[in-house]
Amino acid sequence: MKIVGFMGSPRKNGNTAVLLQQVMEGAQKEGAECTIYYLNDLKIKGCQGCNACKRKGYCVIPDDMQNIYQIINEADVLVFSSPVYMWGMTAQLKLMIDRLYAYMNADYSSRLAKPIKFALLFTQHRAVEDAFMPYFESVAGILEVIGFKFVPDIVVGSGLHDAGEVKSNDALLERAYELGRKVALQ
């Protein structure tokens, strides 16, 4: 079982990173092979709307997303993680998700060669955990339209203000760890 985490936060030691690491540790406990990619370190351009992917069957933009497509194709589970910036995911994760458009045929059917599951992990300053839940559910819906299979559990770290603050929240760390176990066992 290959599980790939995509870190949308620019902070490698922030709350989102800590929770994603917990997810991966839970998955590794169940025997999964886990890797995290820090999107801020990659050069990913925005979708150009050229629709070459519909004509040729693949995205033609020559950037780091070409490697990400290969990584996705070999994965069994993807974990998308991001802090909430301006009421949504970070620009780093949004760029990548927009480029997943290449996995859709012109008739909007999926081009994925095999079923690939995904989970979502978000952190936010707002203390109310479900403050952005409609947005998170919309992200899940977009990924499902592309053809990915949702593992129905969105981990939300709420009320987090300082980088690394989540390390003192045992319940949230455990929830992230259990998400990792869950995705590895499915």
pLDDT band at 186 (very low <50, low <70, confident <90, very high): confident
- pLDDT at 153 exceeding the cut of 90: no
pLDDT band at 181 (very low <50, low <70, confident <90, very high): very high
Q: What is the CATH number of the domain that holds 178?
A: 3.40.50.360
Contact present, 83 and 15 (Cβ < 8 Å):
yes
d(CA 96, CA 144): 15
pLDDT tens column, 7-25: 999 999 999 999 999 999 9
pLDDT tens column, 88-143: 999 999 999 999 999 999 999 999 999 999 999 999 999 999 999 999 999 999 99
d(CA 12, CA 19): 11
Domain that holds residue 60: 2-185
Contact present, 157 and 137 (Cβ < 8 Å):
no
Q: Are strands 117-123 and 149-157 parallel, antiparallel or unpaired?
A: parallel
Contact present, 150 and 118 (Cβ < 8 Å):
yes
d(CA 123, CA 13): 13
Contact present, 86 and 126 (Cβ < 8 Å):
no
How many structural domains compose the chain? 1
pLDDT tens column, 22-80: 999 999 999 999 999 999 999 999 999 999 999 999 999 999 999 999 999 999 999 99
| 97 vs 186, residue with greater confidence | 97
Give the pLDDT score at 7. 98
